[in-house]
Amino acid sequence: MITRRTAIAAGLAAPLVATGRAGAQAPTRAETLLLVQEYGPNSLDMQGIGASQPVNGVALNCYDRLLRFKPVPIPSGGGNQVSMTELEGELAESWQVAPDGMSCTFKLRDATFHSGRPVTAKDVKWSLDRAVSIGGFATTQMAAGSLEKPEQFVVVDDKTLRIDFLRRDKMTMPNLAVTIPFVIDSELAVKNGGGDPWAKDWLKNNVAGSGAYKVESWKPGVETIYVRNDAWTQGPLPKLRRIIARDIASPSTRRALMEKGDADISYGLPPKDFKDLIDAGRVKVVGVPIPNGVWGLYLNTKTGPFTDVRLRQAVAWAVPYEKILQASLFGRGVDMSGGPETPTVAWPQPFPYRVDPQKAKELVAAAAPGGFTTTLLFDAGNATVAEPMSVLIKEALAPLGITVEIQKVPGSNFRGEIAKKTNPMVLNRFAGWLDFPDYYLFWTMHGNNSIFNIASYQNPELDKLVDAARFTDDKAAYDRDVVRFVSLVERELPMVPIAQPTHDVAMQKTIGGYQFQPCREPDFRYLTKG
């Protein structure tokens, strides 16, 4: 009998087709990695509108950026993570910040695109111009590091580019190392763009990069196959020559493939499966607490019952933090309750709330005698974690007189739903790419009211503190402002932090070289296979 699992295993065991230059030997089994994942990229262009989370993996592996984050060991072992305050060159051979701190000049190393063209400063400028102009998430992410205008990117010569700063912003340089500002073969893109100055349709379906891997084939909803770019010189040549990333919706099937040794690596399993795999010990699981990441309960501050801060505080005293951590996340996270009265200079950090039903009841009795009915929304794509979380919250609020109706929204509609900013309660996991407290609050609580400001929270005092922290180079002033704005949101509670989740990956014991990236997509460039 041929099952789904045996078919997948047979597909990997089939002869591998030679790729690359004529006469090149086909990758061996030891040079080929099978990744099984819930879903793959819906596009090949991370800057494009509507790109899904896995498109970050395409950008990470198939394109280069000027800079990248420096790898450092994961404290608990199992590989590396990155230091978001330490940078090293990728396409940049060197860089120099001007004495006045208002520009930086980059010298490019000798590198070639997959087309064979040399990478030039003109390509870098065109790519950065595109990122700040294309709109949507890409442009907002660039603006988070004060990269806002094409005029900021100046070609000095073929191998030299200068970036002029709009203001002193400590996030500008790290923001050049996230996946968004990748460098595109501009001549190839424009040639095939059909008159679109940013070649959006063409780049959605084609890669025009210089990265360590090329996309050999892409079948949305089925699989993406990557092959090594043997001409890559922006780091050590990867050991793996071929990556097969297969889309398998069923987590039980993905887990079975890992347990049987038929797949090499898997991301995105439910926390219970990762815990079971750890306990069984047949495969290794590497976990990293997600930097700048929080599972939080957002409470609408502009409409509905939670416009009253006392009700938001009541919820914070009622949420069953430890129960959620164990029953929903199976211990794969960090509890965000019971923190000190005076916060530290960190994010995320535990708020000074813990389960206290009496305090919660008193607040509800004062603010809404007789109680009320409300709704709690979550993304159905996160149902394995969010649904038990929602049920536990519903059960905890019922004794207070708060009746909660739970609503699941399909993942494809979730962002559109939260953009309405009309839902009283939303359960969501948000993780910022840069590990700064002010960065997180800029996205989720700042008056710019981005899509991730789900609570529609607007407070000029908070905005002033966050903006001051973003743009100061005075550490003492920065620390003071962070403590002040974290104290403010602890009182105001537009979002009740529940847990900092762990990003887990399961891999066979023969797999080495794991590197956690802020975008939380697999970095194939450093993986090895024994």
**DSSP helix/strand/coil, 497:** strand
Decide if pLDDT at 6 tops 70. Answer: no
pLDDT band per the 50, 70, 90 thresholds, residue 14 = very low
Decide if pLDDT at 19 tops 60. Answer: no
**Is residue 259 within a helix (H) or strand (E), and if so which, with residue range?**
helix 251-260
The tens digit of pLDDT for each residue in 391-443 reads 999 999 999 999 999 999 987 788 889 989 999 999 999 998 899 999 999 99
Nearest 5°: phi and psi at 278?
-60, -45
The tens digit of pLDDT for each residue in 463-506 reads 999 999 999 989 999 999 999 999 999 999 999 999 999 999 99
pTM greater than 0.75: yes
Task: Please give the C-alpha separations between residue 258 and each of 35, 54, 181, 439, in angstroms, as whole numbers.
Answer: 10, 20, 34, 36
Angstrom distance (rounded) from CA 396 to CA 408: 19
Domains and CATH numbers, the chain: 4-12+29-264+508-529 (3.40.190.10), 293-503 (3.10.105.10)
Q: Which long-range contacts (CB under 8 A, 24 or more apart) does 410-417 make?
A: 410/380, 410/381, 411/379, 411/380, 411/381, 411/382, 414/379, 414/380, 414/381, 415/451, 417/377
DSSP symbol at 112: B
- Average per-residue pLDDT for the chain: 93
Look at residue 11 in the predicted model and tell me its pLDDT.
47
Look at residue 5 in the predicted model and tell me its pLDDT.
43
Which runs of consecutive H residues, i.e. helices, occur in 333-474?
357-367, 383-397, 411-419, 437-444, 460-471
**DSSP helix/strand/coil, 475:** helix
Decide if pLDDT at 154 tops 50. Answer: yes
Angstrom distance (rounded) from CA 285 to CA 341: 35
| Listed residue (295, 291, 292, 290) closest to 497, CA to CA | 295
Look at residue 415 in the predicted model and tell me its pLDDT.
83
Decide if pLDDT at 12 tops 60. Answer: no
Handedness of CA 362, 364, 367, 369 (dihedral sign): negative
Q: What is the dihedral of CA 467, 468, 474, 479, to 10 degrees?
A: -90
Angstrom distance (rounded) from CA 225 to CA 242: 7
Angstrom distance (rounded) from CA 222 to CA 42: 11
Look at residue 9 in the predicted model and tell me its pLDDT.
45
Look at residue 24 in the predicted model and tell me its pLDDT.
59
How many CB atoms are closer than 10 A to CB 119?
25
Look at residue 473 in the predicted model and tell me its pLDDT.
87
The tens digit of pLDDT for each residue in 332-350 reads 999 999 999 999 999 999 9
Residues present in the chain in total: 530
Lowest mean pLDDT among 140-144, 314-318, 375-379: 140-144
Which runs of consecutive H residues, i.e. helices, occur in 116-231?
121-133, 136-143, 172-175, 186-191, 200-205
Decide if pLDDT at 2 tops 80. Answer: no
Peptide bond just before 197 cis, omega within 30 deg: no
Is the distance from CB of 345 to CB of 483 less than 8 angstroms? yes
The tens digit of pLDDT for each residue in 298-320 reads 999 999 999 999 999 999 999 99
